[in-house]
Amino acid sequence: MNKNYLSRRQKIKYKIRKRVSGNPEKPRLMVFRSTIHIYAQVIDDVNGKTLVSASTTEKEIKAKIENTKGRIEKSKVVGKAIAERAKAKNIEKVIFDRNGYLYHGRVKAVADGAREGGLKF
């Protein structure tokens, strides 16, 4: 990766984290993307705990995305999965943390999938 890209993303990430913080009533939905996989977590920052997580590396989600083409469609499935798991733990409202990435492509697909699954942010 380009060194300038990583340092730029890190600066953006710190600016976002100054303003965005999750609490037990409204936890933070954080997205991380690698070149192949995408990961999503619902985090309670007050207690420092991950409440729910989903990623394309899990067996359950791999079975769902087996026939889908494209990383954006796979990201949407991860968004729906995180919403289902959050609903099971009585979490309906979250704060979206794009983690320094642009709100575009796969990050946006996770957000759209989570909205379709019933999360509000």
Provide the pLDDT for residue 14: 87
Question: Cα 101 to chain center, whole Å?
Answer: 11
pLDDT in the model for residue 1: 66
Say which DSSP state 27 is in.
-
Q: What is the pLDDT, as a whole number, of residue 70? A: 93
Cα separation, 81 vs 62, in Å, equals 11
pLDDT digits (tens, 9 = 90+) for 29-72: 999 999 999 999 999 999 999 999 999 999 999 999 999 999 99
Exposure on the CB side of residue 10, measured as CA atoms within 13 A: 6
Domains in the chain with CATH codes: 3-117 (3.30.420.100)
Q: pLDDT at position 21, please?
A: 87
> Is the predicted pLDDT of residue 3 greater than 80, yes or no?
no
Q: How confident is the model at residue 2 (pLDDT cuts 50, 70, 90)?
A: confident
- Tens of pLDDT along 71-83? 999 999 999 999 9
Q: In this structure, are residues 108 and 90 in contact, taking their beta carbons and an 8 Å threshold?
A: no
Q: Does the predicted TM-score (pTM) go above 0.95?
A: no
